[in-house]
Chain A
Amino acid sequence: AQKITQTQPGMFVQEKEAVTLDCTYDTSDPSYGLFWYKQPSSGEMIFLIYQGSYDQQNATEGRYSLNFQKARKSANLVISASQLGDSAMYFCAMREGRDSNYQLIWGAGTKLIIKP
């Protein structure tokens, strides 16, 4: 079964609009962390934001925020006031606390294109 599901293969958004990228996850481990990474066309992976399973508040980092709904097992990334430079692939990933190798489980990604 898919542990990380990103249902939007691609999205087109008008510049300056807010964007929500969906991510649902599946785990029985009570301790886990959720990560979002950005991959521009140049190929590097850029860490954006992290949410721990025990965190009481939704994570925020500048224009990025994470809409964490634990009961629904969703961790959607919200980008406010989108910019042309936000055009990239976005990956959601999870680390389970029981994994002593600290491996990440990756979603399929969402390709975001910001239109001027």
Chain B
Amino acid sequence: GAGVSQTPSNKVTEKGKYVELRCDPISGHTALYWYRQSLGQGPEFLIYFQGTGAADDSGLPNDRFFAVRPEGSVSTLKIQRTERGDSAVYLCASSPGQGPGGYTFGSGTRLTVV
């Protein structure tokens, strides 16, 4: 597609529930990144895919968080047993390859855990 698409744009869920957040990157971009952003803060790295594999998942806060990219394009971030502290905007970005070249971000999913 023309840009990075994230769905849903907003998600409200109850504490303890499971959620899935979807990211559709720019066609042909091999690198895909998930970040989390709290109000007034910079994006915080979660996980990075190169193709289908997770090249770096060091930013995932705990084992409740998991992400997949089975065919090397669309990715899903999965959060189990959500907690109120998980509330944030979850941003997805893609880039043509490895390296610090410009990332294209999606508009994010605002997750609210009540």
Instruction: Please say whether chains A and B are actual partners in one complex.
Output: no
User: A residues within 8 Å of B by Cβ?
Assistant: none
Q: Which residues of B contact A (CB under 8 A)?
A: none
